[in-house]
Amino acid sequence: MSDAIDEARDWLGNEIDCGPCAHNALQAHGHCHLKHACVNDRYARRIDRFFDWNRALADSYLAHPHFEVRAIAAKHASVFRLPPLLDDPEETVRWNAARRLPKRLILRLRTDPHREVRIRIVTLLDEAELVPMLADPDYYVRLVIARRVGPALLARLVDDAEAEVRRVVAQRIQAEWLFRMASDPEPTVRLDVARRLAPDLLARLRHDPDWRVRHEVASRVAEQQILELADDRDAMVREVARSRLAGVQMRARGAPL
């Protein structure tokens, strides 16, 4: 916690001297306090508290040499002063400006060089505005998109190069697309598909090469399809299949003629 650190140093490591500070007069009015609320301090929380107490001063710090000061000032400054910060060399500054600006001004950050900016931009844009980002070179950007968009755009990510993205698609896409993903090369994707398929549709996966998929099938497949899995090469699959078969046979014996 920055407030617990008993030092007052600026971003260059120099000890802070309130004497020559341009805001020295603010102390008398309780608008700044060394080691607690100071624009010259190296700790972000103290800088943020300074601008929270003195919002009118934020505009004058948007070009400060320390990026933390620019980034925090962007949270408090006049929105009309923020567009130039979209070209700031520091991603934190660009993002803090973007989150307060109209969408028409921040669309160009869809191709920002820093992945964190692009990831956060996804949360600000409408679905139609995310279409160009479906081909983002960073898989995590596409993953965030897959978690957010609706069925129409999800379908475009069915064949994404990254398995983690395809897993999210398999977990969220409309049911009619699941069979398309049932032959995915990644077992965890097929397992997600199996978990969502209705019992009467699971039989297609009973020969899957991955035992986890076959285990899911054996656990939920329609009863008339269990028999084949009772002799599965994997012991856990056989166990669940035979357990279900035993239940079927017991019900059959107890049923009235």
Per the structure, the complete domain to which residue 82 belongs is given by: 1-99
Residues 148, 201 within the same domain: no
Report if residue 72 sits inside a domain.
Answer: yes
Burial class from Cβ neighbours inside 10 Å (0-12, 13-18, 19+) for residue 45 reads: middle
What is the structure's pLDDT at 255?
56
Residues 48 and 108 in one domain: no
- Sign of the Cα torsion 108, 111, 113, 117 reads positive
Amino acid at 116: E
pLDDT of residue 20: 87
Residue ending a domain, choose from 60, 76, 99: 99
Question: Structurally, how many domains does the chain consist of?
Answer: 3
- What is the per-residue pLDDT across 157-195, written as a single tens digit (0 to 9) for each? 999 999 999 999 999 999 999 999 999 999 999 999 999
Q: Are 39 and 23 in contact (CB under 8 A)?
A: yes
pLDDT at 257: 39
Give the residues of the chain that fall short of pLDDT 50.
257
d(CA 141, CA 218): 36
